[in-house]
Structure 1
Amino acid sequence: MPPASDTLPVGERPRAAVAPSADTAGSMPNIVARLERLPMTAYQRRIFAIIASAWLVDQVDVALLTFLLGSIVVAFDLTPTQAGQLAAMTFAGQLVGNILAGTASDRFGRKTVFQVTMVVWGLASLAAAAAWSLPALMVCRFLIGVGVGGEAPVAQAMVSEIVPTNVRGKYVAFMEGFWAVGYVLSGALSYFILPHLGWRWAFVVVGLLSGVVLLVRRGMPESPRWLADHGRAAEAEAVMTQMETAVARCTGRPLPPVPAVVAAEPVPHRSAIATLFSPEYRLRTVMAFGLWFFALIGFFGLNSWIAVLLKDKGFSIVGSVGFVTLITIGGIPGFFTAAVLLEKLGRKATTATFLVCAAGAAYLYGNAADQTWLFVAGFVMQFFMFGMWSCLYAYTPELYPTRARATGAGFASAFGRIGAILGPMVVPILVQTGGTAVAFQVGAGGFLIAALLVVTLGVETRGQILENVSH
């Protein structure tokens, strides 16, 4: 996947595609046709890098509590119930952010909402460093969740709408894979900062990083698909022309001709929320909401407590953070593998496979007899769980039309946050009543139910233009 050159051979100038007629320029079919015939070049990769870099820093902040929770429990003398409530506040904020930013993005545009979400969680992270009590820290973690949760559906929609069909799933999966990298970086950051500066400085570092990424993000264009779908033809035409010029400059060759028809006829406009529950999309919505709920109740129920559970097995706080960081490295090849298989095997088969394998690995981890098997099972578990995330983010936005894409992704993710809230609160009860193994068995069960929903209700979207598959 080497980037195309940004420079032209001496003496050559790119030739633009044939200009559309005045009555079709900026229309939805015209914009879709022109977008889909563009080759993937360094220009689209730069846009992707802007989105992915912000996503990376966001996930460092989300994962932070996994590694800092042990220190915070000591600092505020928290009971297991209070620790679970603190962990749940991030997910409660993400639930609100998923819904608010998803619907706002479909109404007001991708770029503006994308910028606002980063300001919210960046400032909240800095405020968390100064939290003087558990309630204050809970409020900060809630606001961090609002910002990060709000960014998720917007990022999914933006990448899906700009990247060509033949690599769309792969790039959305790559974007989500930056979460695995963020998780590892969050663990490494905590590992080095905790012994010397304490947990508060970890929040300071991440909050400052948000300001850097915000400056980079200002160069991102608005989605021409969104502009055309909202009747802003002149703006859609301007952004599309800018993209075509940039792609032609990267390739140094004439752009491919614009196909006559590439998109299905649009269905009558409804509100974004009404679209999710209309007859055309009802089963997809049931599948997406259930998929996210059961997958996330398993993932966060296990990961939010994994460092604390290791402490109960004899690890020190710093030692448990180091152990979790090492097994989380397994998530990096996991998301790369998922990204490739999404385009080779398809969305349904890859998503179901990773969910089933995550369930098996979670069961083995919960029943590991010694530290060697604990590490092996944990590494494999993270491989499939982070690959699962790539599948969720690549698959969900493809199920809905442009006018409801971010809303659908946001609501599905919000249902997942309900599972994420319940997971950390249920795990301590399971541990107290049945032991660690029972908690991991329940998490595995969540993954299996999610896989069943995909197999029975899912539709295949691989290789299809968004406007076709979303109808």
Structure 2
Amino acid sequence: MGWRYTFYTLGGVTLLMWVARYIIFDLQESSKFLIAKGRDEEALQVLQRIAKKNGKTLTLTLEKLQSVGGNVSSGTSVKFTTFQILKNSLSSFSLSHVTPLFSTRRLAINTSITIMLWGLIGLAYPLFNGFVTLYLTTQVKDADNSISTTYRNYTIISVMGVPGSILACFVVDWTRKSQGKFSLGGRKLTMAVSTVLTGIFLYLFTTSTTSAAVLGYSCASGVTQNAMYGVLYAYTPEVFPAPHRGTGDALCSAFNRITGILAPVIKIATTNPDGSASNGTANGPVFVSATLFIVSSVLMMLLPIETAGKAAL
């Protein structure tokens, strides 16, 4: 019943959040969605509700809203199906938000490296976390695979990751010289140091032969990984021009997921044909993961744009 209790608990939390969405938070439907569906009057009501919440008065009227779309004379809104909305969106597809990300040489280099970083890390992370069990089954002789020990270790590793985010928060802006005061790093340096430390700890992880060593190196890499991800998530939207920030973030996220698909392929190439691991092949995915983190740290230092202490692009 253990796994069933887990699903019951998670399902119960999800149900409570669903109830809170209507009763406590009272979230409104997206006005953009309502306009796309031709429900202009409902969209205006949502905007008026948001304005009221913020103590403002909305001067936009239904007539003004519909006049923008050339629909003021009819007095009624045209309803669109989901298929029609999708068709209209695809019909106007263009690269107008992509090409500005590469408009200058400096921006093109920075955009390319940023997308590449998300791809490399998207491959390195599942390589280690997804296939570390292969290493444990062959290299760690005193491994305790009981449920209580497994969840205890997961809890310890997760808790130890919290200081990584806090440390990155304090350090990330202390990396540049500003107004005569010496600072320690910036986005790039903080990312690079935390990423290279992650790679080093993963290399050291392959020397583990006891459960204590596995837990220790996992905690260490958890701290540095959290710091790396925290800064990377902050740096990425900062470095794209504001009108095209969503597109840049989407490209990074997409490349991150695409490269993650390659993780099982590398696992297959570095382990035995039957999927098992031996002393000579168990380290393969971990070594590749560590190497990718090291390469990523080098690329981070090559980023031409530093956003610490600067206004958004």
Where do residues 206-225 of structure 1 align in structure 2 (5 Å cutoff)?
A: 207-208=14-15, 210-211=17-18, 214-215=21-22
Matched residue, 1:387: 227
For the residues of structure 1 that align with 2:3 and 2:246, how far apart are their CA atoms? 42
> What's the TM-score once normalised by structure 1's chain length?
0.45
Where do residues 104-115 of structure 1 align in structure 2 (5 Å cutoff)?
A: none
Root-mean-square deviation (CA), in Å? 3.3
Code of the aligned partner of 1:315: D
Matched residue, 1:156: none
**Structure 1 position 316 matched with structure 2 position 179:** no
Uncovered stretches (5+) of structure 2, i.e. residues with no partner: 31-45, 57-94, 176-185
For the residues of structure 1 that align with 2:207 and 2:51, how far apart are their CA atoms? 55
For the residues of structure 2 that align with 1:430 and 1:217, how far apart are their CA atoms? 49
Where do residues 301-380 of structure 1 align in structure 2 (5 Å cutoff)?
A: 301-306=127-132, 309-310=135-136, 313=140, 314-316=143-145, 318=147, 319-345=149-175, 346-380=186-220
Where do residues 129-208 of structure 1 align in structure 2 (5 Å cutoff)?
A: 195=2, 197=4, 200-201=7-8, 204-205=11-12, 207-208=14-15
For the residues of structure 2 that align with 1:339 and 1:452, how far apart are their CA atoms? 21
Code of the aligned partner of 2:191: T
Code of the aligned partner of 1:299: Y
Code of the aligned partner of 1:334: G
Q: CA deviation at 1:392?
A: 1.1
CA 1:435 to 1:351, structure 2 compared with 1: closer, same or farther past 3 Å?
same
Code of the aligned partner of 1:344: W
CA 1:306 to 1:275, structure 2 compared with 1: closer, same or farther past 3 Å?
same
More helix by share: 1
Q: CA deviation at 1:368?
A: 0.9
Q: Max radius of gyration: which structure?
A: 2
For the residues of structure 2 that align with 1:306 and 1:213, how far apart are their CA atoms? 38
CA 1:271 to 1:386, structure 2 compared with 1: closer, same or farther past 3 Å?
same
CA 1:381 to 1:213, structure 2 compared with 1: closer, same or farther past 3 Å?
farther
CA 1:424 to 1:333, structure 2 compared with 1: closer, same or farther past 3 Å?
farther
For the residues of structure 1 that align with 2:8 and 2:134, how far apart are their CA atoms? 21
Matched residue, 1:296: 122
Code of the aligned partner of 2:195: L
SS at match of 1:392: helix
For the residues of structure 2 that align with 1:309 and 1:350, how far apart are their CA atoms? 30
Deviations along 1:13-64, whole A, 9 cap, x unmatched? xxxxxxxxxxxxxxxxxxxxxxxxxxxxxxxxxxxxxxxxxxxxxxxxxxxx
Query: Contact between 1:311 and 1:320, CA under 8 Å: does it hold in 2?
Result: no
Matched residue, 2:43: none
For the residues of structure 2 that align with 1:209 and 1:306, how far apart are their CA atoms? 34
Q: CA deviation at 1:425?
A: 4.4
Q: CA deviation at 1:442?
A: 0.8
Deviations along 1:419-440, whole A, 9 cap, x unmatched? 3222244335434364332221
Query: Contact between 1:287 and 1:458, CA under 8 Å: does it hold in 2?
Result: no
Uncovered stretches (5+) of structure 1, i.e. residues with no partner: 1-193, 223-234, 246-269
Q: CA deviation at 1:358?
A: 0.3
Of 303, 309, 312, the match for 1:463? 309
SS at match of 2:308: coil
For the residues of structure 1 that align with 2:165 and 2:54, how far apart are their CA atoms? 29
> What's the TM-score once normalised by structure 2's chain length?
0.65
SS at match of 1:344: coil
Count of residue correspondences: 237
Q: CA deviation at 1:366?
A: 2.2
Deviations along 1:238-281, whole A, 9 cap, x unmatched? 98997698xxxxxxxxxxxxxxxxxxxxxxxx822222233363
Code of the aligned partner of 1:297: L
Query: Contact between 2:134 and 2:282, CA under 8 Å: does it hold in 1?
Result: no
Identity value in percent: 24
Code of the aligned partner of 1:440: V
